[in-house]
């Protein structure tokens, strides 16, 4: 009878330990996959897009080429994709709020530039105050972009994610 009880207890203990081991292994794999997704779908693309916006905002938003005028708009395509993915919830709340504030300002600048473009297409003149407003928002966005890139890099480091950016500083 004792041997039967020890066999049953051994089998139960083995099944329990096997289940716990399987759970821990799946959890480790999930965390690794989540880190990879965050790196590939959130952090790297957003840092690259913010860097691209920084470069776009450093110059003039209105460039005259021969007989045409070219308007340089900041971009927010990847931000919209990342918001839809739901992966932002894995980032710290302050990081999410800073991203949101940055992209709200990006959208405001885009709308103002488009408004100027429409006015100029109609042959109307644009008020100097609007141009000064755009310059002020562009300067603010440049400052925010630098801080946001540093914040995202810090977040990646805290999460144990090694970033693989397209552009490095100085490129």
For residue 123, the Cα-to-chain-centroid distance in whole angstroms is 38
Q: What is the pTM of this model?
A: 0.78
User: Do residues 54 and 152 touch, judged by C-beta distance below 8 A?
Assistant: no
Q: What is residue 103's predicted lDDT score, i.e. its pLDDT? A: 95
Of 40, 119, 149, nearest in space to 128 by CA:
119
Averaged over successive runs of 10 residues, the pLDDT of the chain (171 residues) comes to 89 93 92 88 91 87 74 88 89 93 93 88 84 88 93 91 67 46
For residue 132, the Cα-to-chain-centroid distance in whole angstroms is 28
Q: What is residue 170's predicted lDDT score, i.e. its pLDDT? A: 45
Q: What is residue 171's predicted lDDT score, i.e. its pLDDT? A: 46
Burial 40-71 (b: 16+ CB within 10 A, else e): eebbbbbbbbbbbbbebbeeebbeeeeeeeee
């Amino acid at each position: 009878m004792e041997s039967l009880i020890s066999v049953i207890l051994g089998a139960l203990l083995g099944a329990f330990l096997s289940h716990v081991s399987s759970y821990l292994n799946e959890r480790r794999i999930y965390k690794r996959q989540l880190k990879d997704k965050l790196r590939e779908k959130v952090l790297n693309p957003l840092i690259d897009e913010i860097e691209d916006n920084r470069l776009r905002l450093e110059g003039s938003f209105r460039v005259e080429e021969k007989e045409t005028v070219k308007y340089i708009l900041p971009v927010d395509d990847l931000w919209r994709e990342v918001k839809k993915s739901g992966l932002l919830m894995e980032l710290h709340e302050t990081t999410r709020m800073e991203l949101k504030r940055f992209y709200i300002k990006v959208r405001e600048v885009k709308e103002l530039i488009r408004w100027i473009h429409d006015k100029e297409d109609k042959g109307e003149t644009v008020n100097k105050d609007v141009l000064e407003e755009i310059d002020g928002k562009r300067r603010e966005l440049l400052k925010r972009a630098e801080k946001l890139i540093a914040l995202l890099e810090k977040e990646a480091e805290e999460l144990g994610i090694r970033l693989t950016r397209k552009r490095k500083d100085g490129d």
